[in-house]
Amino acid sequence: MESLGNSYKACVIGASGAIGAAMVEHLRNDHACQHVYALHRHSDPAIDLSDEQSIIRCADFLREHGPFQLIIVASGVLHTEGFMPEKKLGDLNLHQMQETFAINTFGPAMVLAYFVPLLDKQRSIFAFLSAKVGSIGDNRLGGWYSYRASKAALNMLVKTASIEVKRSNPEALLVAVHPGTVQSKLSQPFAKKSGAGPQARPAQLASQEILAVLDQLKADESGSFVAYNGEHLPW
C-alpha cells in the first residue's frame, strides 16, 4: 500500500473469513504497515456486527491506537445452515431478510458511524466488501432478493457517508468493493464447475487485487463502487 506511507496502521473487520484473513496476512507482510488489527467474533476485543455494543467497544479500543490509514470491512453473509438465497418471491421470509441485513447492512452502518472518527486526516481508506449483484443497474437475472437488497443498501450508505465525511476529512476515501467470485464458504455452494464459466479465485489472489485497486484510488473517487480489477460499477 504505497499510497499510505511508510508507517500506516490498518484494521480488518471480518478477519476470520477467507478474504479478511488473506488481507490480514498481506498487510502483515507489508513492511510499510506498522500494525494491523484483525477483528472478528472471537478476537480480543471481539466484534459482532449484530451487536452494536461490541462495535462501540472495538472503536473505543482502537481510538487509543489510531489514527488509522486503512480500515476494511470484509464480513458478509449470503447463506447459512438455515437458509439459501431466494430464487423467487415465494421464498421470501422475514427472518432471512433480517439476518442478512443485520450483517450486510446494519452492522456496517454502525461501523461507519463509530469508526469514521478513527481515520487519519491525511490519506486514509475505508473500504467495504460489497457485491456486483448489489448493483441495481446491472441486475439482469433477478433472484437473491435479500442479498442483493442488503448490498444495494450498503452501497447507498457508503455513498452517503462519503459526502458527509468529505466535508471534515477531504483526504479520506470511502469505497464499496466487489471482490469477484472467491474461494470461500460464502461462494462454495455456487462455485462454477470446470468449463462452466469463470472459476472462483483463491482468497490470497483476491486480497492482493483488492488492495492494489484501493492503493490506486484517489480521494476524489470517494463514494465509488469498484471491482477487484479496477472497474467502476453501475449503482
Domain ranges in the chain?
2-227
Rounded Cα distance between 203 and 108, Å, is: 21
Q: What confidence score (pLDDT) does residue 195 get? A: 39
Q: What is the DSSP letter of 191?
A: P
- CATH 3.40.50.720 for the 2-227 domain, yes or no: yes
**Comparing C-alpha atoms, which of 182, 86, 165 is closest to residue 126?**
165
Quick one: CA torsion of 152, 88, 179, 155, rounded to 10 degrees? 0
Q: Give phi and psi for 129, each to the nearest 5.
A: -75, 115
* Cβ atoms within 10 Å, residue 138: 13
pTM for the model: 0.92
Question: Which pLDDT tens digit goes with each residue over 179-228?
Answer: 998 886 555 565 554 333 457 889 999 999 999 999 999 999 999 999 99
Rounded Cα distance between 231 and 235, Å, is: 13
Strands (E), 56-191: 70-73, 124-129, 172-178
Contact 203, 21 (CB under 8 A): yes
120: part of which helix (H) or strand (E)?
A: none
| Mean pLDDT, 10 residues at a time, the chain of 235 residues | 96 96 97 97 96 98 97 93 92 95 97 98 97 95 96 98 98 97 67 52 95 97 97 96
Q: What is the DSSP letter of 187?
A: T
